[in-house]
Amino acid sequence: MFVDEKRDIRLGYLIHDVSRLRRLLFDRELAPLGITRSQWWVLAFVARHDGLPQTQLAHELDLGKVSLGAIIDRLEASGFVARLPDSDDRRLKRIFLTEKARALLDDIIPVSQLFNERILAGIPREDLEQAARTLSRMKVNLIAAGGQESDHDLDLLIENVA
């Protein structure tokens, strides 16, 4: 299949630029709450999977252990998470949200929802659904090309795109 190189480059640039702008502006939205987008991302995931081992959390978020460790260090220093040893394997550290983090999440969720509403304003629902399907398919293609996911994970992604 012949791909128009100019259109391909513009699409890649557009995806990159939208992602960059979204990260920049969302960090600004969160600054008054004393948290970064990366910290929010980790907190939101831990809120859904409280007590996950740090190594598994790094895998699930597709972050290096050192990168996640630095984020967890900052969250722990701020009192948002507790890193506790596993009851069966003391070397294993599990990450738990604190009550302070739960209160912060109650403040952040409306900020996040309003931010998303603003950036998606004027875009019909069917366009958003098509964009999500297209980007999901691109993700499947990239994962398949890079071989980073297991066959089972790739099958699940493909099922969700179809």
pLDDT tens-digit profile of 92-132? Answer: 899 999 999 999 999 999 999 999 999 999 999 999 999 99
3-state secondary structure of 146: helix
Contact 129, 137 (CB under 8 A): no
Tokens standing for residue 119: 């950036």
Contact 94, 85 (CB under 8 A): yes
Q: Which CA distances in Å does 65 have to 15, 109, 123?
A: 27, 27, 38
In this structure, what is the dihedral angle of CA atoms 69, 45, 136, 117, given to the nearest 10 degrees? -120
What pTM, to 2 d.p., does this model score? 0.74
